[in-house]
Amino acid sequence: MLYVPQYENLNIERILVTARKNPRINDFLPEDRDMHKVPRQWLINVTYTVLGEPFAGWVKGEIESRNEELAKKQNLLIEMDPQIA
């Protein structure tokens, strides 16, 4: 099981686009017309099970990217003196 927060950049559409880069995933997913019935966590679990660490790495990268962008946007970054860091 992989935890994926409810961030805009980790919505179902983006998860599907990333997952479908690997054609094997289509063997495990329902048809597009039924995709709206699938719970988000189920989609994440299936994708993680099939794709493994590359998918988890993508999720981690998206989380870090979102957090960095948010920190810059809200001016939450601090600068440290190079002698201290």
Give per-residue pLDDT as tens, 22-74: 999 999 999 989 999 999 999 999 999 999 999 999 999 999 999 888 877 77
The answer to whether residue 64 sits within a structural domain is: yes
Burial class (CB in 10 A: 0-12, 13-18, 19+), 39: exposed
The answer to whether residue 18 sits within a structural domain is: yes
The answer to whether residue 50 sits within a structural domain is: yes
Q: Give the integer Cα–Cα distance in Å for 11 and 16.
A: 9
Task: Look at phi and psi of residue 41 and say left if phi exceeds 0, alpha if psi is from -120 to 50, else beta.
Answer: alpha
Q: The domain containing residue 30 runs over which residues? A: 8-73
The answer to whether residue 16 sits within a structural domain is: yes
- Total domains present in the chain: 1
Q: C-alpha distances in angstroms, 5 versus 44, 74, 85?
A: 11, 20, 31
The answer to whether residue 17 sits within a structural domain is: yes
The answer to whether residue 39 sits within a structural domain is: yes
The answer to whether residue 66 sits within a structural domain is: yes
Quote the pLDDT of residue 44.
95
Three-state secondary-structure class, residue 32: helix
